[in-house]
Amino acid sequence: MNTKYPHLLQPITLAGTTFRNRIFSAPMGGTDITPDCSIGPKTTKFYELRAKGGAAAVTVSECVVHETDGSHMFRLRLSVPGSLPSFTYTADAIRRHGAIPSVELSHSGQFGGTYLADKNKQHSLVQYGPSARIREDGVEVKELTKELIDEIVAAYGETAALAKRAGFEMVMIHGGHGWLINQFLSPLFNHRTDEYGGSFENRVRFAREVAASVRAAVGPAFPIEFRMSGDEFVEGGYHLDEGVRIAQAIEEYVDLIHVSAGTYQKTFGITHPSWFEPHGRNVYLAAEIKKHVSKPVATIGGLNDPAMLEEIIASGKADVVEMARALLADPELPHKVAEGREDEIVRCLRCFTCMAERANTFTRRCTVNPLIGREDEGLGEVQPAPVKRKVLVVGGGPGGL
């Protein structure tokens, strides 16, 4: 083990499951999602590459839990007949490299259909949220009835049970970024007057019911990670003081509190820090929440420097560091840290090519990693050119470099 980073490389045990280090691969959606919401072979390799690179956990994203969220592109669905094998093969592919396979359980609520390329179809959709409204892009949002709320709560548990059956060894409940659970938590979106709206205790009720449903479905010896926004960073939303209370309200049901930030449709550049934001710009949220809860806390947001990651764990700001784009740019980052090859790490530019390509061409690409999208062509091994040539590169602008 590289003694330069002893805290970062130390194992951690959650609900009886031991993770080999403190570097988790955060949710990032695949590309060849089939029309019936199954995982395609390229996507399986996409996740396997991160496990092969040394991450302690690899989370598959995003698995919808209820038919009211069926219009969002690139969503997976365990309840579709015939989809279970694709999840099993993916869990196996992650586990064979020593990583713990996890799957993110999600409902995008009023923001379903956000990435539909067919805007006419997008505008014809009717989405569900905690309260009725007209979305900024003209899409109607209907208020969830109590009956539908009960169905969705039960569906989270049912989907978690299916994930466990498929071979996943952890689940992540997505409770942040403006998706449905966050919409209930947020006074910006939740204007209900019943037991699910108004006071903090009412707004957190849905999140607690979902977490309790998942816990009942998977049992006590199965890790549950809860992803939340520590601060929404938007006028009318909640801020860190209430983020602390949310973490306290759900910690009895979960094993890892994953503190992210922002509301997806309002503060995208904070949820996914751009190159205009400092590295680790959201770490302080996790650090503050960690002071007030008894469960381990994870942090995320513009992280890729091993020295910074070590300091975060060593100083007690967080127990786990999570990365998505950084492990897209270099899936081998954890192994390079452990082997003392940190000078070989290919750093994420935070340029958003990965996200732009997915929305425009339904693929995943990376400016600094040409293997992304070609994972099934040798699992991350660069093949030598069949014919060697001398090449002159003319024009070395930012794109060329």
Separation of alpha carbons 272 and 266, rounded Å: 12
Q: How far is CA 10 from the centre of its chain?
A: 23
In a domain, 50, yes or no: yes
In a domain, 52, yes or no: yes
Structural tokens at position 309: 């990651």
Residues paired with 172 in a beta bridge: 104, 225
- For 322-332, b/e burial (b = at least 16 CB within 10 A) is bbbbbbbbbbb
Tell me what pLDDT residue 281 has: 95
Three-class SS state of 205: helix
Q: Per residue in 187-206, pLDDT tens?
A: 999 999 999 999 999 999 99
User: Do the Cβ atoms of 332 and 379 come closer than 8 Å?
Assistant: no
pLDDT band at residue 385 under the 50/70/90 scheme: confident
Tell me what pLDDT residue 392 has: 80
Q: Per residue in 37-73, pLDDT tens?
A: 889 898 999 999 999 999 999 999 989 898 888 665 6
Three-class SS state of 257: strand
In a domain, 384, yes or no: no
Considering all CA atoms of the chain, what is the largest pairwise distance in Å, rounded to the nearest integer?
A: 71
pLDDT band at residue 379 under the 50/70/90 scheme: low
Phi, psi of 365 (to 5 degrees): -135, 160
Domain that holds residue 258: 12-361
Tell me what pLDDT residue 78 has: 87
Tell me what pLDDT residue 253 has: 98
Q: Per residue in 122-181, pLDDT tens?
A: 677 778 999 999 988 788 899 999 999 999 999 999 999 999 999 999 999 999 999 999
In a domain, 380, yes or no: no
Amino acid at 373: G
Q: Per residue in 332-373, pLDDT tens?
A: 999 999 999 999 999 999 999 998 887 777 788 899 998 888
Q: Per residue in 215-245, pLDDT tens?
A: 999 999 999 999 999 999 999 999 999 999 9
Q: Per residue in 201-220, pLDDT tens?
A: 999 999 999 999 999 999 99
Tell me what pLDDT residue 5 has: 97
Q: Would you list the DSSP string of 314-368?
A: HTTS-SEEEESHHHHH-TTHHHHHHTT-GGG--------HHHHHHHHHS----SS
Structural tokens at position 300: 């995320």
Average pLDDT, the chain: 91
* Sign of torsion over alpha carbons 57, 61, 67, 69: positive
User: Do the Cβ atoms of 221 and 15 come closer than 8 Å?
Assistant: yes
Tell me what pLDDT residue 70 has: 62
In a domain, 83, yes or no: yes
For 236, residues 6+ apart whose C-beta sits below 8 A from its C-beta are 187, 188
Separation of alpha carbons 51 and 97, rounded Å: 6
pLDDT band at residue 374 under the 50/70/90 scheme: confident
In a domain, 389, yes or no: no
Can you list the alpha helix ranges (DSSP code H) found in 4-40?
A: none
Tell me what pLDDT residue 31 has: 79
pTM for the model: 0.93
In a domain, 396, yes or no: no
Tell me what pLDDT residue 69 has: 85
Q: Per residue in 287-331, pLDDT tens?
A: 999 999 999 999 999 999 999 999 999 999 999 999 999 999 999
Tell me what pLDDT residue 119 has: 64
Question: Region 20-26: what's the mean pLDDT?
Answer: 98
Domain count, the chain: 1
- The pLDDT of residue 22 is above 70: yes
Q: C-alpha angle with apex 114: 260 to 162, nearest 5 degrees?
A: 65
The CATH number of the domain holding residue 137 is 3.20.20.70
pLDDT band at residue 384 under the 50/70/90 scheme: confident
**How far, in Å, are 180, 186, 227, 252 from residue 177 at the CA level?**
9, 10, 9, 22
For 147, residues 6+ apart whose C-beta sits below 8 A from its C-beta are none
Strand ranges in 186-255 using DSSP code E only, listed in sequence order: 224-229
In a domain, 383, yes or no: no
Q: What is the CA radius of gyration of the chain?
A: 20
